[in-house]
Amino acid sequence: MATTEKFVLNMGPQHPSTHGVLQVQVELDGENIVGAKPVMGYLHRGIEKLMESRTYQQCVPFTDRLDYVSSMNNNLGFCMAVEKLAGIEVPERAQYIRTICCELNRIASHHVFIGSLTNDLGSATGMIYAFRDREKILDLFNIICGARMTCHYIRIGGVIADAQDEFLQKTEEFINYVPEMLDEYDRLFTGNEIFQKRMQGTSIISKEDALRFGMSGPNIRASGWDYDIRKIDKYGIYGKLDFDIPVGKTGDNWDRYIIRLQEIVESAKIIRQCLDNMPEGPFMAKVPKMLKPPKGDAYHRVENTRGELGFYIVSDGTNKPYRVHIRRPSFINLQALDHMCKGMVLADAVTAFATIDPLMGEVDC
Amino acid sequence: MWGKGLVTGLKVTWGHFFGKKETVYYPEEKLPMTERFRGGHLMLDVEKCIGCKVCAMNCPNAALKLTVEMDENKKRHMTSYVHDIGRCMYCDLCIEACNFKALKWDQNYESATYFKEDLIYDAVEEAKNRRDGNE
Ligand code: SF4
Ligand code: SF4
């Protein structure tokens, strides 16, 4: 009688559908997945340690390299934590500019999600559409700060340069384009039957499981939790803004995709309000060149594109942080991969991986 | 009806096939860089620079190696300003730190090289070449 054995397949670290250098050890029984173990560490640069030997201002460009697809949100998280530690008031105008940039970055990051998801599902064309639109946002960043991905624009105390009229006007043009853009995505992907079949009802994370894994961001919202730091903490000016939190029902791949589409709409709504109510005034607080926060520690969390991003900083009174710890959402969300893949077929592992949307720069830190 | 979504999707792609193109023919055609664009080599203004080394002190990655010499009148002169692009994050901190506005980017984004050594250059030398070339 023929016997069968379990088979271990290494996906990655060099694999076209693992975004970045992640290795997944998939245990297979025929075509069915028995377990999927993520192996990380290929992109570890020791950013937390590097920060200990840099001044507070010098640390900010390193946060760009965590989640390099939404660097503005990373800058914001770190800067707000230092501001909390040193008791710095950020001017109103800077807060508005920060919010615009962060939300634009959220949209750009969701473009990467949509693009890579469609690519992983076998539609390379889809990727081009999402990246075409992401390019529009990167061009906006190029105008405001001179960089497209690693922005280093939000600084301790505000932003480094004022938003020009050109930037504000082009942002408005982009916001006006968003409904048309989403309509095209709907016609191209959302209505596509193959796309739906591959995603609906696959890799379900129940409400309880999402909490158990400590997930955050769009992934936990897709499972039905109304959990968004922007609403809970109301940091910056988010308390003044009117926006909704899209929440999913089943927590399958499809919900995780739809949530992101809806978040783009909400982000556009936030940017529109910021553009309309933007006050005049300074864009940077008075921050000493040699910043020495008092002895103590501070934790600040922001809603990054991928979830709850937290910075814990301990100061010993010198100009360099004594210890920095970063709570990276991708790292924690990735723990659910095994659970999501179990019982699925191999091709679904790729979809599951794409909808968790982890970013290796952030996972490895 | 099953397949309706597929046809709608194909209509979108065919629409773009005959529509206006979104890309440019690089390298024949190049996109303009913005005013604030950070990238390329550092352009040092030797007239303005006083050799204080504040720029190098502010660099988070030690990408700048400067040699300063003092002449008989105790005036500082920058003799070499070595910038290692391989270490540079284009964070702009060096330029922002200079109180004399002696630095700016040359905004050339085609900085890929065949050899690692070619990533290291001397900004003082480049400044000299620029001046000699203009004369
Ligand atoms: S841009 Fe940043 S990393 Fe590069 S030389 Fe200047 S300070 Fe150093
Ligand atoms: S470039 Fe500016 S900061 Fe650097 S040594 Fe010269 S004057 Fe000082």
| pLDDT tens track for A42-75 | 888 999 999 999 999 999 999 999 888 989 999 9
Assess B93–A contact: CB distance below 8 Å, yes or no: yes
Q: What is the pLDDT of residues A202-225, one digit of tens each?
A: 888 888 888 899 899 899 999 988
DSSP state of B112: -
| Residues found in chain B | 135
Helix pair A346-356, A253-277: axis angle to 10 deg: 20
For residue A67, the model assigns a pLDDT of: 87
pLDDT higher than threshold 60 for residue B135: no
Closest Cα to atom 6 of ligand 1 = B94
Q: What is the pLDDT of residues A143-168, one digit of tens each?
A: 998 898 998 999 998 898 888 889 99
Are the CB atoms for A328 and A365 separated by under 8 Å?
yes
The pTM assigned to this predicted structure is 0.90
Q: Do A188 and B58 touch (CB under 8 A)?
A: no
Element (H, E) at A251: none
For residue B45, the model assigns a pLDDT of: 87
The ligand minimizing its distance to the Cα of A60 is: 1
For residue A324, the model assigns a pLDDT of: 92
Compute the distance between CA of residue A86 and CA of residue A147 in angstroms, rounded to an integer: 28
Contacting residues for A219 by C-beta, under 8 A, at least 6 apart: A205, A210, A256, A306, A307, A333, A336, A355, A356, A357
- Give pairs for B105-110: CB < 8 Å, separation 24+: B105/A146, B105/B37, B105/B38, B105/B39, B105/B40, B105/B41, B105/B42, B105/B43, B106/B40, B106/B41, B106/B42, B106/B43, B107/B33, B107/B37, B107/B39, B107/B40, B108/B39, B108/B40, B108/B41, B109/B33, B109/B37, B109/B39, B109/B40
Compute the distance between CA of residue A51 and CA of residue A40 in angstroms, rounded to an integer: 21
Q: In chain B, which residue's Cα lies nearest the Cα of A162?
A: B36
pLDDT higher than threshold 90 for residue B12: no
Compute the distance between CA of residue A107 and CA of residue A263 in angstroms, rounded to an integer: 8
Among A145, A166, A181, A320, most B C-beta atoms within 10 A, so best to mutate, is: A145
Contacts of B4 in chain A (CB under 8 A): 191, 193
Q: What is the pLDDT along chain A (365 residues), one digit of tens a residue?
A: 678 888 888 887 877 767 778 888 888 888 888 888 888 888 889 999 999 999 999 999 999 998 889 899 999 999 999 999 988 889 999 999 999 999 999 999 999 999 988 888 888 888 889 999 999 999 999 999 889 899 899 999 889 888 888 999 999 999 999 999 999 888 888 888 888 888 888 888 888 888 899 899 899 999 988 888 998 888 889 988 889 999 988 888 899 999 999 999 999 999 999 999 988 888 888 888 888 888 989 999 999 999 899 999 999 988 899 999 999 998 999 888 888 888 888 888 888 888 888 888 888 88
What is the percent of chain A with per-residue pLDDT over 70, rounded to a whole number?
99
Tell me, using a 6 A CB cutoff, whether residue B123 lines ligand 1: no
CA-to-CA separations, A132 to A93, A181, B21, in angstroms, rounded? 30, 10, 11
Tell me, using a 6 A CB cutoff, whether residue B85 lines ligand 1: no
Q: Please give the torsion angle defined by the CA atoms of residues A209, A215, A217 and A221, in that order, rounded to the nearest 10 degrees.
A: 10
Ligand 1 atom closest to the Cα of residue B62 is: 8
In the reported structure, the alpha carbon of residue A83 is separated from the centroid of ligand 2 by a whole-number distance in angstroms of: 28
Half-sphere exposure at residue B59, Cβ-oriented, CA atoms within 13 angstroms: 20
Q: In Å, how far is A323's CA from the nearest CA of chain B? A: 17
For residue A2, the model assigns a pLDDT of: 76
Are the CB atoms for A271 and A288 separated by under 8 Å?
no
User: For tokens 């937290």, what's the residue?
Assistant: A310
Compute the distance between CA of residue A275 and CA of residue A107 in angstroms, rounded to an integer: 16
Compute the distance between CA of residue B28 and CA of residue B50 in angstroms, rounded to an integer: 40
- Give pairs for A262-265: CB < 8 Å, separation 24+: A263/A106, A263/A110, A263/A218, A264/A106, A264/A107, A264/A110, A264/A178, A264/A182, A265/A178, A265/A182
Assess A142–B contact: CB distance below 8 Å, yes or no: yes
What is the percent of chain B with per-residue pLDDT over 70, rounded to a whole number?
98
The verdict on ipTM greater than 0.90 is no
DSSP state of B119: G
Tell me, using a 6 A CB cutoff, whether residue B59 lines ligand 2: no
